[in-house]
């Protein structure tokens, strides 16, 4: 059974890194312990700095020595002690440090950065949900404006219909335009209330090109945020 990690971290004076070696001379990979003690226990940020002190930077500027085990060990100890918030902070730091100190390809670094800045690797998935709601509300307001400025036209078959359907007025023989439903069709993936089947941007109107572009952008953002939401809730974002 692993023993307790007991060291001293002074708040003042010359002590640095809890008397542990620094500058790439420390090796923590495989080091296990069952708890943390000491007369002046380190904070979470000090412990993270302690883990990072084992990395060394080569002549090319690249870092070497990254290992996930020290982070996982530290997070486990905090979680077992009931400090779940600190454990999440450590788990997030592990994935962020992988981008800085690990040997990742460019596309992997880009994916890591995206998960960090959006849903914190699945530990703050609510960010994606909030973003999706924000995009929906913004596009809903824009759809109401477009409705009253001639930027929405029928997308379905209007042959033989007189007068031609307009977004501001309901007709008995053509589906009405509802901004809330149209925003759902454009922003929320998979869900289809058939508003976008019957109405679309009027690219020939003044600023019609801008409205069409905004529609495509909202669709792209909707898919991206929904994907992040699923990745966060299913745990896929944490598999780094």
Taking only the tens of pLDDT, the chain with its 240 residues reads 456 676 655 454 445 555 677 777 788 888 888 888 766 778 899 899 889 988 887 777 777 778 999 999 999 999 998 999 999 999 999 999 999 999 899 999 999 999 999 999 999 999 999 999 999 999 999 999 999 999 999 999 999 898 999 999 999 899 999 999 999 999 999 999 999 999 999 999 999 999 999 999 999 999 999 999 999 988 887 776
The pLDDT of residue 13 is 45
- Helix H or strand E encompassing 81: none
d(CA 123, CA 177) in angstroms, rounded, equals 39
- Bridge partners, residue 154, by sequence: 199
What pLDDT does 236 receive? 80
Nearest-CA neighbor of 180 among 220, 137, 117? 137
Nearest to 240 by CA among 101, 115, 100: 115
Task: Output the CA–CA distances (angstroms, integers) from residue 191 to 27, 85, 91, 93, 118, in the order listed.
Answer: 51, 35, 34, 36, 23
> From CA 138, how far away is CA 181, in angstroms rounded?
14
Write the CA distances from 136 to 15, 180, 195, 214, integer angstroms: 53, 9, 15, 12
d(CA 153, CA 143): 12
Distance CA 143, CA 130 (A): 20
Interaxial angle between packed helices 208-234 and 106-118, expressed in degrees from 0 to 180 and rounded to the nearest 10? 90
HSE of 62, CA atoms in CB hemisphere, 13 A: 8
Find, among 229, 45, 41, the residue nearest to 128 by Cα.
Answer: 229
Residue 85: count other Cβ atoms within 10 Å of its Cβ. Answer: 10
Residue spans per domain, the chain: 4-103, 127-232
Is residue 240 classed as helix, strand or coil in its secondary structure?
Answer: coil
Tell me, what's the pLDDT at 1? 43
Burial of 122 (0-12, 13-18, 19+ CB in 10 A): buried
């Amino acid at each position: 059974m692993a023993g307790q990690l007991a060291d001293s971290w002074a708040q003042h004076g010359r002590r640095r890194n809890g008397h542990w070696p620094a500058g790439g001379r420390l090796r923590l990979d495989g080091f296990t312990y069952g708890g943390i003690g000491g007369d002046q226990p380190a904070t979470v940020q000090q412990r993270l700095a302690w883990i990072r002190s084992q990395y060394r930077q080569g002549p090319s500027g690249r870092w070497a020595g990254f290992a996930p085990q020290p982070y996982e060990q530290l997070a486990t100890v905090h979680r077992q002690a009931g400090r779940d918030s600190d454990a999440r902070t450590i788990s997030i730091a592990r994935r962020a440090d992988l981008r800085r100190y690990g040997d990742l390809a460019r596309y992997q670094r880009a994916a890591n950065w995206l998960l960090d800045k959006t849903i914190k690797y699945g530990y703050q998935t609510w960010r994606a949900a909030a973003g999706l709601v924000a995009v929906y509300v913004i596009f809903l307001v824009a759809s109401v404006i477009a409705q009253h400025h001639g930027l929405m036209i029928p997308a379905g078959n209007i042959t033989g219909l007189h007068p031609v359907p307009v977004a501001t007025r309901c007709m008995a023989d053509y589906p009405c335009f509802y901004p809330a439903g149209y925003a759902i069709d454009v922003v929320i993936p998979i869900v289809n209330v058939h508003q976008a089947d019957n109405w679309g941007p009027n690219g020939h109107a003044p600023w019609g090109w801008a409205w069409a572009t905004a529609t495509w952008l909202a669709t792209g953002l909707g898919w991206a945020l929904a994907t992040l939401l699923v990745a966060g809730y299913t745990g896929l974002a944490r598999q780094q």
